Structure formats: C-alpha cells, structure tokens
C-alpha cells in the first residue's frame, strides 16, 4: 500500500474571525448570527454552504460527472462525494462498496480493476469517474469526501498532496478512527470532519457531559436525527460553534426542513434536491 505522504506541520491555517452573519431573506426569518472562527480556507464561504450531495442524487445518477456538471451549472461550488479504491489502487468516486445498486454491472469495487469498473454505467448511461479526474474537471469546486473503505485512505491523502488541493477538500468518514488517521498522516493542512464517535462526543458535550474530542476537526457533519434521537438542535449547534466547528447537515431534501435548520444557525446543508435548496437560499437572500 502506498504511504508516501509527507505533509505534517507545514502550511497550517491558523484561523481568523469570519465576521459572517446570516442574511435575512424574503421568508421573514431572521437567521442566527454565527461566531465561528474560520479554521480552514476550505470553509471560506460567505453564507451557509450548499452542498450538492453526490452531485444532486435525486434522479439516481449519483456521483457521476454528469451530476456534478449539472450542479456546477446550477451555481453550486461545494460537492459531496464518496471514494473507494479499486483492486489496482484507483480512487473511484462512488458511494457503495459494490456496483450492484446503481449500475448495470455487479461486483465489489475493491476486487475489480479500474478497467472493469470503468465499463459500468450508472443508470445504464453514465460512466463512473476517478476522483482525480473530477478534481481536474472542476478546478473551482470544493469537495467533501467520505472515505468509504480503509483501502481508499492513503490513495486519497496522497492524491490531495500530489495535486496540492488542501484548500479544496474536506475529508470525512463514519469511522472516526479512519478520519483521525487521515488527519494524523496529513497534518493541519487537511480539513476533516468528525466521524460517528466524534459527533457522539460533541452531542454529550452539548449536555455538559465530559467526552473526549479529537482536536483539529473543522466541522461536524451530521444527520438531523439518528435512530429516532435528535442530533441537531440549538444546544448542539451552540456547542459546536463554541468549539470553532461548523455544522453541516445531511441529507435534507424538503424545503421546510431546510428552513428550520437554517433558522437554527447551521453552516451547511447537503441535499439531493439542488433545485430546492437553491430556491430556499435565494428566498432568504443567503445564496452566495
């Protein structure tokens, strides 16, 4: 396994006051003022961040260049995607461990060569993409990348270093240990979010319950609720902001839920319905 990355300790971003306040739009909602310090240039966006989840997955053509082109055409600058490594070490932008659900092919990506994977078509029409090619095709985009498998960790961090895109990528994972390893390998130039255990620790902290939290994360990326338990509320957002963390919520497709979350002061929303989120933010005067 390639482990060539040498990034620790240089080029750190020390942070500065963001000075952001959330606009008041035509909806009549006065959005909360944020006091989050800008901890990484990846987050340098003047309003709540709209993320195109898997490029905007409402029509099923998720994580394809077609979906990301459509999102870019709709004005999106932040894209969410996932990565797996093929048997020959190529980093594919794809959510599932297997091709079965959304393509016309079958098999585990980790057991297939890139040549085999590249023959699959999402929805029967759209090819899969290497993440490296997406970085090149969309040079102005910023990417939120979920490391879906251990085998993708080193290829992803090495790609970020090789391409010099530290300011354009935030790395996350459900596995807190996995994303923590990515952060230890790369150092402070790499933006990371909390995994499940990190989010749990932050939730406990919001109730004044002592819990260990990894130093160096820049965001908590969370669902509104998990297993019927509310995650995102004013207490959680306030606790995250007090620690200098942004709160990004996934995956939100209904306008009333978007409005409610924005009123709570969240810093970003990930959606499959890029048209709806754009409309909501436009109405609030918060699209930037």
DSSP string, 28-96: S--PPPP--EE-SGGG--SSPEEEEETTT-TTS-TTSHHHHHHHHHTT--EEEEEEEE-TTS-EEE-SS
53, 84, 183, 248: which one is catalytic? Answer: 53
Tokens of 70: 């459509």
35, 40, 84, 95: which one is catalytic? Answer: 95
CA distance 228 to 177: 25
95 is catalytic: yes
53-58 own/partner pairs: CB under 8 Å, 24+ apart: 53/80, 53/250, 53/251, 53/270, 53/271, 53/272, 54/80, 54/81, 54/82, 54/95, 54/272, 55/79, 55/81, 56/271, 56/272, 56/273, 56/274, 57/272, 58/253, 58/272, 58/273, 58/274
CB 157 within 8 A of CB 182: yes
35 is catalytic: no
State the catalytic residues: 53, 95
């Amino acid at each position: 396994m390639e482990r060539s990355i040498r990034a620790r300790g240089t080029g750190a971003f020390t942070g500065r006051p963001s000075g952001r306040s959330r606009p008041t739009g035509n909806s009549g909602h006065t959005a909360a003022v944020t006091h989050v310090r800008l901890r990484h240039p990846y987050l340098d966006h003047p309003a709540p961040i709209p993320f195109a989840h898997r490029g905007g997955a409402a029509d099923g053509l998720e994580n394809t260049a077609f979906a990301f082109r459509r999102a870019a055409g709709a004005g999106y600058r932040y894209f969410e995607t996932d990565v797996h490594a093929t048997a020959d070490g190529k980093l594919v932008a794809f959510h599932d461990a297997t091709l079965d659900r959304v393509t016309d092919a079958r098999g585990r990506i980790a057991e297939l060569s890139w040549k085999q994977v590249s023959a699959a078509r999402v929805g029967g029409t759209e090819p899969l993409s290497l993440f490296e090619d997406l970085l090149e095709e969309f040079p102005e985009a910023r990417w939120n990348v979920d490391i879906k498998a251990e085998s993708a960790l080193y290829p992803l961090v090495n790609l970020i270093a090789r391409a010099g895109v530290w300011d354009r990528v935030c790395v996350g994972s459900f596995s807190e240990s996995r994303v923590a390893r990515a952060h230890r390998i790369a150092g402070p130039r790499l933006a990371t979010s909390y995994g499940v255990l990190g989010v749990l620790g932050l939730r406990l902290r919001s109730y004044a319950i002592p819990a260990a939290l990894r130093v160096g994360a820049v965001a908590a990326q969370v669902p509104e609720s998990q297993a019927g338990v509310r995650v995102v509320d004013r207490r959680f957002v306030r606790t995250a902001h007090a620690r200098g963390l942004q709160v990004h919520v996934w995956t939100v497709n209904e306008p009333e839920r978007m409005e409610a979350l924005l009123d709570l002061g969240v810093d970003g929303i990930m959606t499959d319905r890029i048209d709806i989120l754009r409309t909501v933010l436009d109405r609030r005067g918060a699209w930037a």
